[in-house]
Copies of this chain bind each other. A is one copy, B any other.
Amino acid sequence: MKPTLQTVADAVGVSRSTVSNAYGRPDQLSPELRERILTAARELGYAGPNPTARSLRRGRAGAIGVLFTDVLSYAFRDPFAVRFLQGLSLAAERHQTGLLLIPVPDDPEAARAAVRNAAVDGFCVFCVAEGHPARQAIFERGLPVVGTELLAGDPEMLAAGIDEAAATRAAGMHLTALGHRRVAIVADMLHPAISPLGTVVREPSDVSYLGESERLRGYQQAWRKAGLDWDEVTIVNVRGNSREAGVEGAAQVLDRRDRPTALVAFSDVIALGTMDALRARGLRAGRDVSVIGFDDIPQAAEAGLTTVRQPATEKGRIAGELLLDPPATAEGRRVALPTELIVRASTGPAPDGRN
């Protein structure tokens, strides 16, 4: 049998409460007795209060739930996601809390069950499509939920986010100001969760991730304002947020006769991939084709990639803080973080004439 508080209490000849206090409230007993208790505990192989029992009594699970979907595990290849997670963990650490990655089965019912069975104090909705079966289960738990989308529908939802549309609007205007009129978008996350590959999504409202939807809208707004025809904008829908996906996505537009003079991506990782594709064709980023990314990961600076900077770690940290220490006032429940268009060498004036 594993020793419990009672085992130790009996061994020392004190009450269970006193042993509990020895661990959790050292000021409640004399230092000598505490020392005796801790020594006895060590001898008995008692490793300290059972975290599960403590959680039950305290009413605090000591963990934040994060759904570990395929999407998320791929997302880990993106430094942005990793930094977000680091931020989350910073907040968690401050609150002596863990991050529970919940593997989500493909079967919808099993997915819901996984969410219901998670011993957590709240959920961080990160990389979970709008229509995902687990998503509803999350809200049904009645626990605090934090997302990264300021415009999320649920009024209960906490959020640490950016004005996605404003961010890409600025990026889009930067391009039109440089004279670009033939533009393409390369993006992951555009497809509805359960649609066949290759589905073409053009309208922001059809995008199943709110953030991506807004990014699309931002470009739409900027370019419409500049007089471009949205239907003329090429949208390449790649699967997966990776450099390779960027290479492949760019390949679909760069070899066309009327190749765009500018490419925008919804992540730096993809943008860097499109730059690889340019290089492979002897095209110069910022001269022959301008490229804009999103996130401003460290590699973006090295590659001279123009991009939208958002504070990754801070986003995670604030999301965590919101979850673990929810503000009383409704205003405080949605935190808007700043973004900034970082102009580097990958954007330049549109080349003259036909190619």
Contact = CB atoms under 8 A, between A and B. Distances in A.
Interface of A: 2, 45, 47-48, 50-56, 61-63, 65, 68, 73, 76-77, 79, 82, 85-86, 89-90, 92-93, 96-105, 113-114, 116-120, 140-142
Contact of A116 (B47, B76, B82, B100): B47
B82 A77 contact: yes
Contact of A86 (B62, B73, B102): B73
A82 B81 CA distance: 12
A79 B82 contact: no
A164 B118 CA distance: 36
A31 B207 CA distance: 40
20 contacts: A45-B142, A47-B140, A47-B142, A51-B116, A51-B118, A52-B119, A56-B56, A63-B63, A68-B98, A76-B76, A77-B79, A77-B82, A93-B104, A97-B103, A99-B100, A99-B102, A99-B103, A100-B100, A100-B101, A101-B101
Contacts of A47: 116, 140-142
Number of copies: 2
B2 A142 contact: yes
B119 A90 contact: no
A50 B54 CA distance: 14
Given A68-B89, A96-B117, A100-B100, 11 more contacts: A47-B116, A48-B116, A62-B118, A73-B82, A73-B86, A89-B101, A93-B103, A93-B104, A93-B114, A96-B114, A98-B103
A140 B43 CA distance: 12
- Give the secondary structure class of A's interface: mixed
Please provide the 3 A-B residue pairs with the shortest distance between their CB atoms, ordered closest to farther. Answer: A93-B103, A51-B119, A99-B101
Contacts of A86: 73
A106 to B, nearest CB: 10
Contacts of A141: 47
A50 to B, nearest CB: 8
Contacts of A62: 117-119
Contact of A52 (B55, B90, B116, B142): B55
Given A47-B140, A48-B116, A100 B103 contact: no
Contacts of A101: 89, 98-101
Nearest to A89: B103
Given A68-B89, A141-B47, A55 B119 contact: yes
Contacts of A96: 113-114, 117
Given A89-B73, A119-B119, A100 B63 contact: yes
A318 B349 CA distance: 54
A56 B93 CA distance: 24
B76 A119 contact: no
A99 B76 CA distance: 15
A218 to B, nearest CB: 29
Contacts of A54: 117
A99 B68 contact: yes
Contacts of A2: 142
A119 to B, nearest CB: 4
Contacts of A61: 51-52, 119
Contacts of A140: 47
A279 B285 CA distance: 20
A68 B86 CA distance: 9
A85 B73 contact: yes
A48 B109 CA distance: 14
